[in-house]
C-alpha cells in the first residue's frame, strides 16, 4: 500500500493559489505549517522560518533531548532505606497478601492425602466392602510412601488413599510404630507428578510458635486450621492404650479425621503427625488441645533417614 507523505507536497507555481487555504495565500511558508498556526509567540516565530531551518531546529532539539535522556538513564538512582520502607508500606496498604498460615498450607497441600479404610460387611459377608473409617496422611517420598496414624489403618481389610490431584489407589502397610501410634503405608498407584512433603525438625520449636494442621476432619477437606505450639515433650495415653511420650501440644483445631495428617511450621515443613485430641468428656471433638508425634520420632522408629 502506498504510504501517505509525511508532509504535503509543495504546489507548483501555477495553481498554487488554488491549492492553498485562504490564510496561506499571503504567506510563503510551507502549507504543512501554515495549516496548524498557534496563537503562541513561539509557534508564530517557527511558522515564519523557512522549511529547511525549521527541520534543522527540530533535529537539534531532538538530538538534545535524546542526549539528556540517555545521560539520565545511564546514571543509577541510589535507593535509600526510606525509599524501601515506603515501597513496602505502600504494598502492604494496597495489596491483600496471604497470611503466613495460608502460604504454609499452600506448600504442603500437594502432599496431603485422604485415607479411608474398608472392611467386610458383617451383615452381608458375600457383599461389597463397607467404609469403616477416615483419616489423613502425608506423602514423604516420590515412591508413594505415606505417614499416617496406626489407629487409622489398624485392622482394615482394605486401605484406600486419595491424592491431592484426585488420584485414588489402594495402599499397604509397610511399617508400624505402636508406641507413637504411627504407621507407614505405600500406595500402589501414583499420580504423574507426586510431590512429597518437606520434612523439618521439631528441635527448634518453642511454645508460641505458629503451626498449621492440614487434614480431613470428619472426612471434609483438605481442611486447614492454624494455631500455636502450646507445649513440648508432652505425654498422652487414652484408656487401654499405650502412653505416648515426647509429643507436641498445639491448639490448631483437629477432629476425628485429622489423625495422621501433618502438623507444619510456617515454612511448610512437617514437624509432627497429628495423633490425638484431648477431651475429658465423652465427646470426640476438639476443645483446644491436640497432640502430634514429632517427625523425628516417626522417622527414627521406622528406619527413615534423619531430617
Closest to 196 (Cα-Cα) out of 266, 261, 259, 143: 143
pLDDT for the residue 91: 74
Q: Residue 272's beta-bridge partner residues?
A: 263, 294
Grid-cell match 502397610, residue found = 173
Q: Is the pTM of this model over 0.75?
A: no
pLDDT for the residue 10: 42
Instruction: Give the whole-angstrom CA distance, residue 140 versus residue 231.
Output: 25
User: Do the bridges between strand 182-187 and strand 145-149 make them parallel or antiparallel, or are there none, so unpaired?
Assistant: antiparallel
Chain centre to alpha carbon of residue 228: 21
- Output DSSP code: residue 196: P
- C-alpha cell of residue 71: 545521560
Q: What is the CA radius of gyration of the chain?
A: 37
Instruction: Give the whole-angstrom CA distance, residue 136 versus residue 262.
Output: 8
Closest to 117 (Cα-Cα) out of 149, 160, 166: 160
Catalytic residue positions, numbered: 151, 181, 259
pLDDT for the residue 80: 84
pLDDT for the residue 8: 36
pLDDT for the residue 36: 41
Mean pLDDT of successive 10-residue stretches along the chain, which has 307 residues: 39 41 42 42 50 53 54 64 78 80 96 93 72 93 95 94 96 92 94 94 94 96 95 84 90 95 96 90 84 87 53
pLDDT for the residue 209: 97
pLDDT for the residue 124: 73
Q: Check if the beta carbon of residue 283 is closer than 8 Å to that of residue 293.
A: no
Amino acid at each position: 500500500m502506498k504510504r501517505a507523505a509525511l508532509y504535503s507536497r509543495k504546489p507548483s507555481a501555477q495553481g498554487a493559489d488554488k491549492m492553498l487555504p485562504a490564510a496561506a495565500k499571503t504567506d510563503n511558508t510551507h502549507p504543512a505549517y501554515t495549516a496548524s498556526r498557534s496563537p503562541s509567540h513561539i509557534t508564530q516565530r517557527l511558522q515564519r522560518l523557512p522549511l529547511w531551518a525549521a527541520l534543522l531546529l527540530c533535529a537539534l532539539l531532538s538530538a538534545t533531548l535524546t542526549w539528556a535522556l540517555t545521560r539520565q538513564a545511564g546514571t543509577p538512582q541510589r535507593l535509600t532505606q526510606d525509599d524501601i520502607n515506603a515501597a513496602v508500606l505502600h504494598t502492604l496498604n494496597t495489596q491483600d497478601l496471604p497470611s503466613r498460615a495460608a502460604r504454609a498450607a499452600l506448600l504442603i497441600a500437594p502432599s496431603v492425602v485422604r485415607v479411608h479404610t474398608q472392611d467386610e460387611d458383617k451383615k452381608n459377608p458375600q457383599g461389597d466392602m463397607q467404609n469403616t473409617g477416615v483419616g489423613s496422611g502425608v506423602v514423604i517420598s516420590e515412591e508413594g510412601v505415606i505417614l499416617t496414624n496406626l489407629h487409622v489403618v489398624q485392622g482394615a481389610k482394605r486401605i484406600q488413599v486419595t491424592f491431592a490431584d484426585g488420584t485414588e489407589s489402594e495402599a499397604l502397610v509397610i511399617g508400624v510404630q505402636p508406641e507413637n501410634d504411627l504407621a507407614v503405608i505405600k500406595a500402589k498407584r501414583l499420580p504423574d507428578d507426586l510431590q512429597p512433603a518437606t520434612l523439618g525438625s521439631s528441635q527448634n520449636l518453642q511454645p508460641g510458635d505458629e503451626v498449621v494442621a492440614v487434614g480431613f476432619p470428619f472426612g471434609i477437606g483438605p481442611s486447614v486450621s492454624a494455631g500455636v505450639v502450646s507445649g513440648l515433650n508432652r505425654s498422652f495415653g487414652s484408656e487401654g492404650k499405650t502412653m505416648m511420650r515426647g509429643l507436641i501440644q498445639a491448639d490448631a483445631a483437629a477432629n476425628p479425621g485429622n489423625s495422621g495428617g501433618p502438623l507444619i511450621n510456617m515454612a511448610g515443613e512437617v514437624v509432627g503427625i497429628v495423633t490425638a485430641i484431648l477431651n475429658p468428656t465423652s465427646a470426640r471433638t476438639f476443645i483446644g488441645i491436640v497432640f502430634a508425634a514429632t517427625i523425628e520420632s516417626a522417622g527414627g522408629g521406622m528406619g527413615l533417614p534423619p531430617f
